[in-house]
Amino acid sequence: DGGITQSPKYLFRKEGQNVTLSCEQNLNHDAMYWYRQDPGQGLRLIYYSQIVNDFQKGDIAEGYSVSREKKESFPLTVTSAQKNPTAFYLCASSPTDRETGELFFGEGSRLTVL
Amino acid sequence: GQNIDQPTEMTATEGAIVQINCTYQTSGFNGLFWYQQHAGEAPTFLSYNVLDGLEEKGRFSSFLSRSKGYSYLLLKELQMKDSASYLCAPMDSNYQLIWGAGTKLIIKP
């Protein structure tokens, strides 16, 4: 079945460590996104990519990095520079035609900094 | 700036009807999405409106008025499984979704 797979589902990190969240899709979608969700707030865009080998900063990119070496994969690295990384992270993809295309989400990764 | 306003929480009774309102201000507009999100899970797509009027899809309907910057989601014949957060997300001129904080809907027996 086609879909988006995020891993790990739960992740614990010590302060000062970098961690990488995986996102893989087999929907053949061109565009991929990373969002962060905190309690009581809307989803906030971290990075997005509309084509392989290209990505753009979203509203809260500081302390994060991404790569898009393959169409299917869009990993997110949470670096030690991110001061408050504990959150629920959602990866999504969409077809190129955003005028009618909805977002398809992975199941999310919950990161906790100890 | 861009802003989305929807109630934080609503309570309704099983079998009843509930309307969740959303007002928005965005830089340009290319349609509005409603998503459902159960606690601890990813959002799932409910509806998309780009023209004014009502779109009906089973028990769920969504309405849009572009001139008023207003949308609502109407849920009929409420079931316990409808307890979730409902996210309003207009799309701006760059085709980016602007997300509201969501409305937590509590269904009581």
Decide: A110 and A51 in contact? Cβ < 8 Å: no
Per-residue pLDDT of chain B (109 residues; tens, 9 = 90+): 788 999 999 999 999 999 999 999 999 999 999 999 999 899 999 999 999 999 999 999 999 999 999 999 999 999 999 999 999 999 988 888 899 899 999 999 9
Task: Kindly list the residues from chain B whose CB atom is less than 8 angstroms away from the CB atom of residue A103.
Answer: 33, 35, 43, 45, 97
Query: What are A72's two structure tokens?
Result: 């299917």
Residue B20 touches partner A, C-beta closer than 8 Å = no
Q: State how far the Cα of A55 lies from the Cα of A53, in Å rounded to an integer.
A: 7
CA distances from A8 to A19, A20, A107, B4 (A): 11, 9, 10, 31
Contacts of A39 (CB under 8 A, 6+ apart): none
Query: What are B52's two structure tokens?
Result: 């004014």
Per-residue pLDDT of A24-69, as tens digits, reads 999 999 999 999 999 888 899 999 998 999 999 999 999 999 999 9
- What pairs with residue A88 in β-bridges? A37, A110
Length of chain A: 114
DSSP helix/strand/coil, A7: strand
Q: What is the mean pLDDT of chain A?
A: 91
Question: Is B41's CB within 8 Å of A45's CB?
Answer: no
Nearest to B42 among A48, A98, A106 (CB): A106
